[in-house]
Amino acid sequence: MAGETVITVVGNLVDDPELRFTPSGAAVANFRIASTPRTFDRQTNDWKDGEALFLSCSVWRQAAENVAESLQKGMRVVVQGRLKQRSYETPQGEKRTVFELEVEEVGPSLKYATAKVQRAQRSGGGGYGGQGGQGGQGGGYSAAPANDPWATPAPSQSGGEPGGQGGGAARDPWGAPGVGDEPPF
């Protein structure tokens, strides 16, 4: 939607993501991240931490379930979404305004860590953003189609041709003769 403020924030999870379900069965995960700016002080030859920004985040549907299963307190993450402002009044009559992030994309930061990405398997037939499967508590897509590159195992690296390419060389563009494990560029 036009006029929305889309931002990307890199920070650490303050708590484990909290997964809940709406009465209609849609999953939502809430979490907070802390983003602390660092600057180098040439006079002291040391890094100085600035004031931390704490930002509440919410992510919906299958992404919410994936976040709750994959991320935990302390992990460094990259979060992209729409910044929203919400005003409310406390029971004491004080007016407050908070900023929250409606998350579109989230993932672990690989600057200081490694991750093994695995495509989430879902049951049901709702597709992306659907409400099918699991008693209405999540969308679903059924077994992956035969031409799905995420679902096919890596080609065998044993037997067959010289160079250990086996029968997978014809299907594997990275497995051209003489290339080995390195990309062809």
122 contacts 140 by C-beta, under 8 angstroms = yes
Neighbours of 140 (CB within 10 A): 18
30 contacts 18 by C-beta, under 8 angstroms = yes
Residues in the chain: 185
In the chain, the percentage of residues whose pLDDT exceeds 70 is 65
Which pTM does this prediction carry? 0.60
Residue 38 pLDDT exceeds 80? yes
Residue 59, beta-bridge partner list = 29
Per DSSP, helices labelled H in the chain are: 61-70
What digits encode the pLDDT tens for the residues 51-73?
999 999 999 998 999 999 889 99
98 or 143, which is more confident = 98
Neighbours of 154 (CB within 10 A): 8
**pLDDT reported for residue 26:** 92
Q: Which residue has the tokens 């659907």?
A: 130
**pLDDT reported for residue 124:** 46
One-letter amino acid at 73 equals: K
Neighbours of 185 (CB within 10 A): 3
Q: Which residues contact 14 (CB under 8 A, 6 or more apart)?
A: 31, 32, 33, 34, 54, 73
> In angstroms, what CA-CA distances link 165 with 61, 107, 155, 156, 184?
41, 33, 8, 7, 15
Structure tokens, 38 = 């660092």
Structure tokens, 49 = 């931490």
Residue 1, beta-bridge partner list = none
What digits encode the pLDDT tens for the residues 143-152?
445 555 555 5
Structure tokens, 145 = 């189609």
